[in-house]
Structure 1
């Protein structure tokens, strides 16, 4: 992973973890132990899904922009299918409170996405490769 990818990962993961702690405590107070477990499982799902995508896209960006785009779309598709499967498999679970689980996924997703976008906006990255641009300009 490149340094900027690590920065983005930390910038999104740390606030999400902090919100996750708040979600677990709130769910514990509102729904008891099963609520806390549901909130923890939801936040874990968010962290794993978004973390895996960020790492995979970071590694793919080293290969080429085309591969990076394909990996981003592929991981998105896998995440959507995986979330549907998780929700279908655990639809009738009594292990945790399903509402706490669902709300923690929604809140975790919003927090992760917001802080990830913020980190990307603050990261100073070149949009073009200066060496390629200069070489192409000279050829014309």
Structure 2
């Protein structure tokens, strides 16, 4: 993982974690221990799904740039389906408070997307590698003899 990829992951994960901590505290006060457990599970689910998606997307961009847009659409669809399967599997659970879980899941997802968008806008990522352009110019110039 390149340094700007790790930085982007960190810029998205830290605010999401902070929102998760706040959600756990609020859920613990409002719904008790089950609310806190629901908020923790919601935060962890968002961080795992969105973090894994970001890593997969960055590796795809590096190795197969022609598939980047299609992979992004497939990745977001897969993430939504994964969360849907999780929601269906735990829809009648008593392990955690489902309202606290759902609100935390929504809030953490929105914060992750906003932080990732901000990180992309602030990142100074070169679209063209200047070193490859210089080497190509030297190759096409021919020998000076």
Shared fold per TM-score greater than 0.5:
yes
Written as runs of structure 1 = structure 2, the 5 A alignment for 1:48-67 is: 48-67=48-67
TM-score relative to the length of structure 1: 0.89
Uncovered stretches (5+) of structure 1, i.e. residues with no partner: none
Q: CA deviation at 1:128?
A: 3.9
What whole-Å deviation, never above 9, does each CA across 1:114-133 have from its counterpart, x for those lacking one?
Answer: 1111111110012345529x
1:17 aligns with 2:17: yes
What whole-Å deviation, never above 9, does each CA across 1:41-100 have from its counterpart, x for those lacking one?
Answer: 001110001100111111111113223333322221211111111111111111100000
Considering only aligned residues, what root-mean-square deviation do their CA atoms show, in Å?
A: 1.8
| 2:32 alignment counterpart | 32
Moved more, 81-90 or 120-129: 120-129
* Larger Cα-atom Rg: 2
| 2:105 alignment counterpart | 105
Uncovered stretches (5+) of structure 2, i.e. residues with no partner: 141-145
Count of residue pairs brought into register by the alignment: 135
Q: Secondary structure at the match of 1:28?
A: helix
TM-score relative to the length of structure 2: 0.86
1:45 and 1:66 mapped to 2: Cα distance? 30
